[in-house]
Chains A and B, each alone.
Chain A
Amino acid sequence: MTVTVPSTLAAAHAQPAPPLALRGLSVAYFEEPAVWDVSLEVPAGSLTAIIGPNGAGKSTLLGAALGLVPRLAGEALFFGEPLSKVRRRVAYVPQRASVDWDFPASAADVVTMGLYGHLGWLRRPGRRERERARACLERVGMADLAERHISELSGGQQQRVFLARALAQEADLTFMDEPFAGVDAVTERAIVDVLRELRGEGRTVVAVHHDLDTVREYFDRVVLLNVSLVAAGPTEMAFTPANLRAAYGERHGALAAALAGGAP
């Protein structure tokens, strides 16, 4: 199926727009700013970690970019377009606690939901969708548990179901909100493998991340946030003791800097 759209053709000749570009994004909860004047670009084919202390606005930044949280000011462009035009190319893996795990659905059902965007309104998922969902579960090592009810899965397995759902969306840009929070070692390994596969396919991942120990190993870019943007760039350049101290404050920054491998 080849459809020639003039505008995309023109865009292909010019510099391709980055998967994510934030310009002056600001969010306020009540009187306090939660995200302040953040501008950044995330290049295609990268794995980016958003890090920062508690209350730094990491999840809020994701939510505001995706239009799930009202913005005070600023804009977010995806592949050079507003989200409404490129929804199919963007996937979002929320925190596990954000849904009701007692909902009557199996692991395969949840993964199939990732395909609803491709189906559009009214069309029901059929055998083809079932098979694709199963393939995605296979990729995260969950094929055996496809028919299990979601409440009977461990926390790590639930996280992998969410990851498989994002895979089913076949998005070019995937947001993840703390994918490694409270998961077992097997799941952590599985997620990392999938992230690398995605990068290999030229896709982009942006994840809120907590564990400073693993930043260097898992991610090639970091965004350091403490309400305002502290630093953004390739891990070796932005993930520095000085920047960590600036983001986490003097007391915790020293510890963070030590973890990052620099001198305190």
Chain B
Amino acid sequence: MTLPFDLVIVGTAVLVAWACTLPGLFLVLRRQALLGDAISHAALPGIVAGYWLSGGSLASLPALAGASLSGLLTVGLSALVARGGRVKEDAALGLVFPALFAAGVLAVSLNYGNVHLDLDAVLYGEIAYTPFRTGWLGLPAAWVLMGGTLLVNALFVGGLFKELQLATFDPGLARTLGFAPRLLSGALLTLVALTVVAAFDAVGAVLVVAFLVVPSATALLLTRRLERALALALGAGLSASVLGYILALALDASITGAVAGVLGLQFVLVLGAKTLRARGGTRTLRP
């Protein structure tokens, strides 16, 4: 079965967008928007270790597992550094993820100086190649991988929506009611790490980080209801995928870059419109 290129590429982008947006909204609300960036960089040593274990394959299960583990290591280590209040959380994250990334760069240059382990391919993966790789049932491999990730994320966020909402808004109450907020946030971050790594292969780190943050940020400008914010964020991801692809074709530019650009543009337009309206119209009084 051969699907049209356009459909495969846009479909992959939408699947990645939705898989990222589901946990991404909660990251944004928990003030951990930059965690996606950190995890995506810190995954490198894990990818290298998996590459070594699997005997030289990038898109392999060991590489995926290694990357997720080093993503989680970032979260754990920066929490450890921030404990006791010596270092603020943002600084702790900024200490940990470059160090892990540097270790990965070093490992690559020491062991694979002459082998083809293209850093650019890992970090800036190319969505334009997705139509050429087919997987299960002849479907595009990226669809299978990202569809599966989306399904897992949808089950998690859909099933535990009320628990995630409570643990994000008021962890203290979540704890007294017995909802184990720490376990929940651990599970959320695990899913973020898995999603980031799964999406690497298809679209590269840039777009993953953009999808984790920008659609949710745009949606939160537009609504003050959590359910509506989720729906709007999914819509923003969809429209940016389609418009970005059309733009990339028109300008003959990188699809990844164009989609990220459209995401940013959508955000700026919404923010601008909101600011103008607040200035022009009647100002609502705020306490």
Interface residues of A (CB under 8 A from B): 66-68, 83-84, 87, 90-92, 94, 98-100, 103-106, 109-110, 113-114, 116-117, 119, 121-122, 124-125, 149, 151-155, 165
Shortest CB-to-CB span from B214 to chain A, Å, is: 17
Distance between A88 CB and nearest chain B CB, rounded to angstroms: 8
CB-based contact B226/A104 at 8 Å: yes
- Determine whether the beta carbon of B169 is less than 8 Å from that of A113: yes
- Chain A residue with Cβ nearest B30: A100
A100 and B228 alpha carbons, distance in the complex (Å) = 19
- Since A104-B229, A152-B284 are in contact, a sample of 14 more A-B pairs with Cβ atoms closer than 8 Å, ordered by chain A residue number, is A68-B175, A83-B176, A91-B176, A94-B173, A98-B170, A99-B170, A103-B226, A104-B223, A105-B225, A106-B224, A106-B225, A113-B165, A122-B160, A149-B224
Expressed in whole angstroms, the Cα–Cα distance for A114 and B165 within the complex equals 12
Q: Which residues of A contact B224 (CB under 8 A)?
A: 104-106, 149, 151
Partner of A116, one of B172, B179, B229, B284: B179
Q: Top 5 A-B pairs ranked by shortest CB distance?
A: A117-B177, A149-B224, A104-B226, A103-B169, A87-B178
Contacts of A105 in B (CB 8 A): 165, 169, 224-226
Contacts of B286 in A (CB 8 A): 151-152
The majority secondary structure among interface residues of chain B is helix
- Minimum Cβ distance to chain A for residue B32 (Å): 13
- Name which residue of chain B comes closest to A120, CB basis: B178
Q: A122 vs B159: C-alpha distance in the bound complex, in angstroms?
A: 6
Say how far B37's CB is from chain A's closest CB, in angstroms: 22
Chain B residues close to A by CB (< 8 Å): 29, 159-163, 165-166, 168-170, 172-173, 175-179, 220, 223-226, 228-229, 284, 286-287
Complex CA–CA separation, A113 to B176 (angstroms): 12
Which residues of chain A are within 8 angstroms of B162 by Cβ–Cβ distance? Answer: 116, 119, 124-125
Known: A84-B178, A104-B226, A154-B287. A113 touches B173 (CB 8 A): yes
Report 11 cross-chain contacts, Cβ distance below 8 Å, ordered by A residue. Answer: A68-B172, A68-B175, A87-B176, A103-B29, A103-B226, A104-B223, A105-B224, A113-B165, A114-B173, A116-B177, A119-B162
Given known contacts A66-B176, A104-B223, is B170 in contact with A116 (CB within 8 Å)? no
Closest to B226 in A: A104
Closest to A154 in B: B287
Q: Are B177 and A94 in contact (CB under 8 A)?
A: no
Q: Count contacts between A and B, CB distance < 8 Å.
A: 79
Residue of B at shortest CB range from A129? Answer: B162
The distance from the CB of A30 to the nearest CB of chain B, in whole angstroms, is 10
Separation of A134 and B85 alpha carbons in the complex (Å): 41
Quick one: closest A residue to B284, CB to CB?
A152
Q: Is B166 within 8 A of A113, CB to CB?
A: yes
Per the bound structure, the CA–CA distance linking A64 and B155 in Å amounts to 35
**Closest chain A residue to B158, Cβ basis:** A124
In the assembled complex, which residues on chain B have CB atoms less than 8 Å from the CB atom of A103? 29, 168-169, 226
**Assembled-state Cα–Cα distance A238/B274 (Å):** 57
Q: Are B169 and A92 in contact (CB under 8 A)?
A: no
How many Å lie between the Cα of A106 and that of B172 in the bound state? 19
With A92-B172, A151-B286 already in contact, the answer to whether A116 and B166 are too (CB < 8 A) is yes
Q: How far is the CB of A164 from chain B (nearest CB, A)?
A: 13
**Whole-angstrom distance between the Cβ of B169 and the nearest chain A Cβ:** 5
A116: chain B residues at CB < 8 Å are: 162-163, 166, 177, 179
Given the complex, which residues of B lie within 8 Å of A117, measured CB to CB? 177-178
Contact A153 B287 (CB under 8 A): yes
Q: A113-B165, A116-B166, A122-B160 are in contact. Are A90 and B225 (CB under 8 A)?
A: no
Whether A113 contacts B163 by the Cβ 8 Å rule is no
Q: Give Cα A124 to B165, complex, Å.
A: 12
Q: Which residue of A lies closest to B160 (CB)?
A: A122
Residue of B nearest to A165 (CB): B173
Kindly list chain B residues whose C-beta atoms are within 8 Å of the C-beta of A155.
287
Compute how far the CA of A152 lies from the CA of B168 in the bound complex, rounded to whole angstroms: 20
Which residues from B are CB-within-8-Å of A68?
172, 175-176
Residues of B within 8 A of A165 (CB): 173
Which residue of chain A has the shortest Cβ distance to B178 in the bound complex? A87
A155 to B166: give the CA distance in the assembly, Å: 21
Taking a contact as CB atoms under 8 Å apart, the answer to whether A92 and B161 are in contact is: no
The smallest C-beta distance from B234 to any residue of chain A, in angstroms, reads 15
**Chain B residue, CB-CB nearest to A110:** B169
Q: Are A99 and B169 in contact (CB under 8 A)?
A: yes
A41 to B224, CA, bound (A): 43
CA distance A151 to B225 in the complex (A): 12
B172 contact set on A, CB distance < 8 A: 68, 92, 94, 98
Q: How far is the CA of A117 from the CA of B177 in the complex (A)?
A: 5
**What B residues does A154 contact at CB under 8 A?**
287
Q: How far is the CA of A66 from the CA of B172 in the complex (A)?
A: 10
Contact B179 A109 (CB under 8 A): no
Q: Contacts A99-B170, A124-B162, A125-B162 given; indicate if A90 touches B176 (C-beta within 8 A).
A: yes
**Cβ-defined contact, A121 with B163, below 8 A:** yes
Interface centre among B168, B169, B176, B220 (most CB of A within 10 A): B176
